[in-house]
Amino acid sequence: MNPVNATSLYVSASRSVLQCDPRDPRALAELCKLLPFFRQSLSCLVCGNLLQDPIAPTDSSCQHYVCRGCKGQRMQLKPSCSWCKDYSRFEENRQLSLLVHCYRKLCLYITQSPLAPHVASAASNSPDLQAILSEGQTLAEGETGSRGRFLSL
């Protein structure tokens, strides 16, 4: 199944990042609202981290994803989802891997753009955003080491 939510959140988040004028508090607020949603759509339901080698149910549109390494483990879903209970129907999802890759790039872009200090100051009253920024920093640092892997996509 196509990761519809993650895809459309990617489109909105990128647009809001690229068009954001840091002097416009409304645009900044929009960006700071979208980013956690986008990150959330790419979370593993088992470990809560950004998806690694994402797998997705092939016969359900419930949009519940896990890392390949987390397959078989209990999802943190309340109530549990009856559509994707069966892990044997989960398969590698390339579109999701690409979206995770795009998410990393977007974080990297923000940390290196003039938006960075503005987003950081907005994060001071949003734990969600703070977590994203510190994760983004780590992703950015790991970027050079993992470049080879991304080329093989």
Closer of 52 and 130 to Zn ion (Cβ): 52
Cis upstream peptide for 79 (omega within 30°): yes
Cα-Cα-Cα-Cα dihedral sign, residues 57, 58, 61, 67: positive
The interface with Zn ion within residues 78-97 (CB under 5 A) comprises 81, 83-84
Shortest reach from residue 95's CB to Zn ion, in Å: 17
Does position 35 interact with Zn ion (CB under 5 A)? The reply is no
Per DSSP, the three-state class of 129 is helix
Does position 42 interact with Zn ion (CB under 5 A)? The reply is no
The percent helix, strand, coil of the chain (3-state, each to 5) is 55, 5, 35
Shortest reach from residue 64's CB to Zn ion, in Å: 3
Chain residues in the site for Zn ion (CB under 5 A): 44, 46-47, 62, 64, 67, 70, 81, 83-84
